[in-house]
Amino acid sequence: MFVRLARTFTFEAAHFLPTFPEGHKCRRLHGHSFAVDVVVAGEVDPARGYLVDYGEIKAAAEPVIARLDHYLLNDVPGLENPTSERIAAWLWEQLEAGLPGLSEIVVRETCTSRCEYRGPRGGG
Q: Decide if 26 is catalytic.
A: yes
Q: Decide if 12 is catalytic.
A: no
- Using only C-alpha atoms, the chain has a radius of gyration, in whole angstroms, of 16
- Catalytic entry in 26, 56, 115, 116: 26
- Catalytic entry in 24, 70, 80, 85: 70
Q: Decide if 104 is catalytic.
A: no
Count H helices, E strands: the chain? 2, 5
Question: CA-based angle 111:115:121, to the nearest 5?
Answer: 165
Q: Are 35 and 65 in contact (CB under 8 A)?
A: no
Active-site positions read: 26, 70, 109
